[in-house]
Amino acid sequence: MKVYLLGAGPGDPGLLTLKARDVLAAADAVVYDALANPSLLDHARPDAERIYVGKIADRHALPQDEINALLVRKAREDGGKVVARLKGGDPYIFGRGGEEAEALVAAGVPFEEVPGVSSAIAAPAYAGIPLTHRDFASSVTIITGHESPDKPGSVHNWPALAASASTLVFVMGMKNLPDIASRLISAGMDPATPAALVYRGTTPRQRCLVAPLEELPAAAVAQGFSNPSIIVVGEVTRLHASLDWFGKKPLLGRRVVVTRAREQASGLADRLARLGAEVIQFPTIEICEMEDHAPLDAAIAGLDAYDWLIFTSVNGVRHFWRRLA
């Protein structure tokens, strides 16, 4: 009996850690979030139970207290199970992993936390924005942007944030972007401070917008930016233009359907993904043995009567040689 709180990373399935992959392969049940790349479930056993508990704005599959109870219940089932709790990014960076860990401790259920690559770090990196740079910033501050602008007070020290030379990274803040920009400027930050948005960072749908802080909210509306986006404020965003390696992938933003048989599609799918495409594997054929081998056996028995032997695919070659043997 054990629950593993796994960081699924920011979206690129290649950023999953080796330890998280191994836990997924051994788990009896996988409880996963909306921001965990669905392809990561391919690492799980075919017989493993898969339970979706994703939370998108105004659409929660389960409230947090019910997720906590679910983890405890699944871990105790059938004398004890291994449960993989797959969470987008890092479980402890605005992922409520700490709350889930506390619930497990209170219930006497053993757990481990397996860190993941946080979107707060990875999304800017894929957009060519190093969060620290010797010429621009020597520290990073990661801040929740999910605060309600209507509440009387704020947990953030806006004057300190505005005066800091630190790069500011706001997560889950698109709804409050106008308020964030306004508060920073009101607290003394230069309205011309460069800032950026990174939408769905590390995925084939990634987009980036760089603008002065005071213009960022209007530019975001004009260009259709929404959640999930990372907000980065600071001089390092100037480097996007020269360091945007991911945005130069030739198939970025393209969605490609691969219809080959599933066992043969992975090579092509991997090559397309490396070029930036969003790949959907949708097999429309299945390669299987013939029900009656008599015609093939007769042809094989009379091979010396043929001048040419023509194969139309690698599948024909494979199955012919298998039958010949």
Cβ–Cβ contacts within 10 Å for residue 63, how many? 11
What would the pLDDT profile of 246-295 be if each residue is shown by its tens digit?
999 999 999 999 998 777 777 889 999 999 999 998 889 888 888 999 99
pLDDT recorded at residue 289: 85
pLDDT recorded at residue 173: 93
At the second CATH level, the architecture of 2-116 is 3-Layer(aba) Sandwich (3.40)
pLDDT band at 128 (very low <50, low <70, confident <90, very high): very high
pLDDT band at 60 (very low <50, low <70, confident <90, very high): low
Respond yes or no: is residue 42 known to be catalytic. no
Catalytic, out of 55, 175, 179, 249: 55
Output the 3-class SS for the chain. CEEEEEECECCCHHHCCHHHHHHHHHCCEEEECCCCCHHHHHHCCCCCEEEECCEECCEECCCHHHHHHHHHHHHHHHHCCEEEEEECECCCCCCCHHHHHHHHHHCCCCEEEECCCCHHHHHHHHCCCCCCECCCECCEEEEECCCCCCCCCCCCCHHHHHHCCCEEEEECCHHHHHHHHHHHHHCCCCCCCEEEEEECCCCCCCEEEEEEHHHHHHHHHHCCCCCCEEEEECHHHHHHHHHCCHHHCCCCCCEEEECCCHHHHHHHHHHHHHCCCEEEECCCCCCCCCCCCHHHHHHHHCHHHCCCCCCCCHHHHHHHHHHHC
pLDDT band at 149 (very low <50, low <70, confident <90, very high): low
pLDDT recorded at residue 101: 97
Respond yes or no: is residue 150 known to be catalytic. no
- The residues spanned by each domain of the chain are 2-116, 120-247, 250-281, 294-324
> How confident is the prediction for the chain on average, in pLDDT?
93
Question: Does domain 120-247 correspond to CATH entry 3.30.950.10?
Answer: yes
Task: Determine contact, residues 84/112, Cβ cutoff 8 Å.
Answer: no
pLDDT band at 194 (very low <50, low <70, confident <90, very high): very high
The pTM assigned to this predicted structure is 0.85
Res. 57: pLDDT tops 80: no
Task: Determine contact, residues 4/112, Cβ cutoff 8 Å.
Answer: yes
Work out the burial of residue 317: count CB atoms within 10 Å of its CB; fewer than 13 is exposed, 13-18 middle, 19 or more buried.
Answer: exposed
Catalytic, out of 12, 33, 74, 87: 33
As a whole number, mean pLDDT of residues 99-125 equals 97
Higher pLDDT, 248 or 60: 248
HSE-up (13 A, CA, CB side) for residue 133: 17
| Pick from 7-16, 185-194, 244-253, 264-273: least confident | 264-273
As a whole number, mean pLDDT of residues 69-90 equals 96
pLDDT recorded at residue 146: 82
The CB-based long-range contact list for 304-309 (8 Å cut-off, 24+ gap) reads none
Res. 47: pLDDT tops 90: yes
Q: How much of the chain, in percent, has pLDDT values that exceed 90?
A: 82
